[in-house]
Amino acid sequence: MDWRLALLSFGLLIVAELGDKTQLVVFSLVSQYRAPFPIFVGASLALTVLTLIAAIAGQFVSSVVRFQYIQIGTGLMFIGIGIAMLWQAFCSVLGR
């Protein structure tokens, strides 16, 4: 196992997920139910399953599609999601 890649992915995900919706959901659930351990276990399992799916999908897609196209596609998805979120916020402020 390449520990440098493991540490790289760990560090990048820590930075990327800091203040993410997942943390807010966990915070809200623990605040409501006052049961941090089962909520931690459930959230950890959910993130583990989603990460496994992403790793398997990434392995498959990278065997079919060139890496440059994957980068462009993921960049466009991030931009699209950002535009959709801005549009939703804009409509919410205007009361539409």
Query: Which position has the higher pLDDT, 83 or 21?
Result: 83
58 and 80, same domain (yes or no):
no
4 and 39, same domain (yes or no):
yes
57 and 23, same domain (yes or no):
yes
75 and 90, same domain (yes or no):
yes
Euclidean distance between CA atoms 75 and 34, whole angstroms: 38
39 and 77, same domain (yes or no):
no
pLDDT of residue 39 exceeding 90, the answer is yes
Euclidean distance between CA atoms 18 and 35, whole angstroms: 22
Q: Is the pTM of this model over 0.85?
A: no
Number of structural domains (the chain) is 2
**pLDDT range class, residue 70, cuts 50, 70, 90:** very high
The predicted pLDDT at position 94 comes to 87
Name the region of 2 (left: φ>0; alpha: ψ -120 to 50; beta: rest).
beta
Domain range spanning residue 89? Answer: 66-96
18 and 58, same domain (yes or no):
yes
What is each CA distance from 22 to 1, 3, 46, 62, in whole angstroms? 28, 26, 10, 27
